[in-house]
Chains A and B, each alone.
Chain A
Amino acid sequence: MTDLNALTIGAARDLLSKGEVTSSDLTEACLTAIDGSGALNAFVHHTPEIAREQAKAADARIAKGDAPPMCGIPLGIKDLFCTKGVPSQAASRILEGFRPEYESTVTRQLFDQGAVMLGKLNMDEFAMGSSNETSCYGDVVNPWRRGNDDAALTPGGSSGGSASAVAADLCLAATGTDTGGSIRQPAGFVGITGMKPTYGRVSRWGIVAFASSLDQAGPMTKDVRDAAIMLGAMAGHDPMDSTSADLPVPDFEAMLTGDIRGKTIGIPKEYRMDGMPEEIETLWAEGRQMLEDAGAKIVDISLPHTKYALPAYYVIAPAEASSNLARYDGVRYGHRAKLSQGDGITEMYEKTRAEGFGAEVKRRVMIGTYVLSAGFYDAYYNRARRVRAMIKKDFDDVFATGIDAILTPATPSAAFGLGEMTDADPVQMYLNDVFTVTVNLAGLPGIAVPTGLDRQGLPLALQLIGRPWEEGDLLNTAYALEQAAGFVSKPVKWW
C-alpha cells in the first residue's frame, strides 16, 4: 500500500469511508513527513495539536456515517489565509505576531466539512513573486532536482510552499491563491494539479488581500479528481464577500467522465512566444494531439491583445496592492518600528513600512502609488483597465464561436534555480506569468495539469482555460488530458 501521506484525497476518502484507515493515521503520517522536511522550508507554522484534535473529531464523524468528502483529509494552508488563533502573516515581517481573531471563509468551510489543518505554508511575501524568494521565512525549495545535480530549484510562486508540500507528500492537498498565476505556475513547476476558479466562485473573505479584482483562491492537489473534490468544498456564495457569486456549486467530481467527444478546444497563436523553449512547443503539440485523440475538435484561434496582458497587470495589480497594503501602518496589528525621540505619526508609518515590507512589496506599492497619483491616473490606471476590457473581450469573442476550452503551456520554462534570477531586472521575473495572467484579468477559470518531463527530468505542465462558471466542464477536459498524458512521476526523495 502507498504511504498514507502520499494518498490522493479521493483514495483517502474511500479508505476512510470503508474504515480501513483513520484520519488520525493519515494525520500522523503527514506530521511525520513534515518533521522530516525542514530542508524544503514549506511548512512555516506547525499546528500538530489542532491537526490531532480535528482528526479525532473527523474520525468520530466518519464513524457515524454521512461525512462529507473532505472529512478527515489533512491539508496545508497557505499563510495568506487568516486562521483563527494561528499565525497568519502572508510571509511578511509586517504581520509578525498577528493571530487573527477570525477564520477565513475558505478555511472555515474546509474545517466545517472536517478537513484537518497541518500548518501554514510558506509563500512569496503578500503573494508577490514567482519564485518564493520574497518570503520573510526564506526560500522554499522544490522537491524536484535536475537529475543528479543537487542545485536547489524554485517551486515557483507565490504558492510555492503549497506546491512543494503537495509534491513532496507532506499533506494530501493544499490551499493556494492566484492573482497572476500563483497557483498554476508553482503547480506546473512541481508536477501537481493547480486550479484557479472563476473570479467570484470562492470567497475572498479572510484572505490577506493583494489585488482584489484579481485574487482568487483554489485547490492545489495531486490529481484532477482531487481538485474537483476540494474546489467543491471551497466554493460557494458568501455574504461577507460582495464579489462572491450567488450561484449554485455543482458536484464537480460527478462531472468527471473523461468524455470530451464533440468538445472544441482552441489553440491561441499569440501564446507561441519568441524564444520559447522547444520542449515547451513539443509539450503543447503533444497535448493538442492527446485532446484530438480523445475526440475533441481542435481549432486555431486568436487572442489578439495577449501581448498587453502583463503590462496591464503590472499597472492594475500594484495599484490595487498600494491601496490594500495601506492598512499596514503599525497601528492595528503586526510590526511597529521602534521610534526615535521626536518621531511623530508620519515617521512611525514610514519606518514601520520600511522595516516591515520586503523589497518586492515596496517596489510594487510604490509603482501602484505612482500610477494612481494625480496626473497619471488616466494615463496608466484607466488605460490599463480599458486594455483589460479588451483582453476579456478577446476571450468572450472566441467563446462565442463555440470554443469550450483553450489549451496553452502553463509556464515558459521548467523550474529554475533559486538565486538564478537575482540579478535580472524585475520585469524578467514578471515574464513567468505570461501564460497565466490573462486568465486573472478576464476572471476565467484555469487549471495547470502536469503532462511531461523535460530532458533534465523536471515536470512540465499545460494549462486549460475554461468558460466562466464552467469549472466542471473544464475539470472534465483536464481529466481527459491527465488520463491521456499519464503523468505519474514523483520527485526522488533527498530531503
Chain B
Amino acid sequence: MSIDIETARRVAKLARIKVEEDDLPALAGEFNDILIFIEQLNEVDIEGVEPMTSVTPQRLKRREDVVTSGNMPDKILSNAPDAREGFFAVPKVVE
C-alpha cells in the first residue's frame, strides 16, 4: 500500500491540518517510509489473537451517576482565545 499525493491531501484534510500543495509530495514520501516500516506487522500470524484492550485485567470502576463538578464557567472559559458572554466564540458555522 503506498500513499500518493491525493491520499496525503485527504489525510491532511481529515486531520484538519492545512498542508501547502507544494509540501504534499514530501509528506507522502515520509508517510510511505513509515508505512513500509509498519507493514512488517503483516509477517505476524495473528489468527485467533484478541486485540489487547488493557494492560492488566481490571474492571473499570463504577461510580454513582451524579454530578460531581460544575458551576465554574469562568474557569472553563479563562483560557479561550475568544470568549463572549459566557460562551466560546468561533467563526460563523451556518451560512
Which A residues are closer than 8 A to B by beta carbons?
97-101, 198-200, 213, 239, 242-243, 245-246, 305, 307-308, 310-312, 314-315, 322, 326, 329-336, 339, 343-351, 353-354, 357, 362-363, 365-367, 369-371, 373, 379-380, 382-390, 392, 425-427, 430, 442-443, 468-469
Chain B residues closer than 8 Å to A348, beta-carbon distance? 90-91
Chain A residues closer than 8 Å to B15, beta-carbon distance? 322, 353, 362, 365-366, 369
Known: A333-B80, A363-B30, A370-B11. A314 touches B38 (CB 8 A): yes
Q: Choose one: A245, A308, A354; the contact of B41 (CB below 8 Å).
A: A308
Q: Choose one: A312, A314, A373; the contact of B11 (CB below 8 Å).
A: A373
B36's nearest neighbour on chain A, judged by CB, is A427
B side interface size, CB within 8 A: 51
Which B residues are closer than 8 A to A by beta carbons?
1, 3, 7-8, 11-12, 14-19, 27, 30-31, 33-34, 37-44, 46, 49-56, 58, 60-61, 63, 72, 75-76, 78-82, 88, 90-93
Known: A101-B75, A333-B80. A367 touches B58 (CB 8 A): no
Given A370-B7, A370-B31, 6 additional A-B pairs, CB 8 A: A242-B61, A331-B90, A363-B27, A369-B14, A383-B44, A427-B33
- Flag if B33 contacts A390 (CB, 8 Å): no
Q: In the complex, A391 Cα to B45 Cα: how many Å?
A: 12
- Flag if B40 contacts A307 (CB, 8 Å): yes
- Flag if A468 contacts B41 (CB, 8 Å): no
Question: How many contacts A-B (CB < 8 Å)?
Answer: 167
Nearest CB on B from A178, distance (A): 14
Chain A residues closer than 8 Å to B49, beta-carbon distance? 386, 389-390
Q: In the complex, A314 Cα to B81 Cα: how many Å?
A: 33
Nearest CB on A from B10, distance (A): 8
- Flag if A389 contacts B16 (CB, 8 Å): no
Chain B residues closer than 8 Å to A469, beta-carbon distance? 56
Say whether chain A's binding surface is mostly helix, strand, loop, or mixed: helix
Interface centre among B1, B54, B80, B91 (most CB of A within 10 A): B91
Q: In the complex, A468 Cα to B55 Cα: how many Å?
A: 9
- Flag if B41 contacts A443 (CB, 8 Å): no
- Flag if B51 contacts A382 (CB, 8 Å): yes
Q: In the complex, A140 Cα to B30 Cα: how many Å?
A: 25
Interface centre among B27, B50, B51, B88 (most CB of A within 10 A): B51
- Flag if A350 contacts B17 (CB, 8 Å): yes
Known: A200-B58, A242-B61, A330-B81. A344 touches B91 (CB 8 A): yes
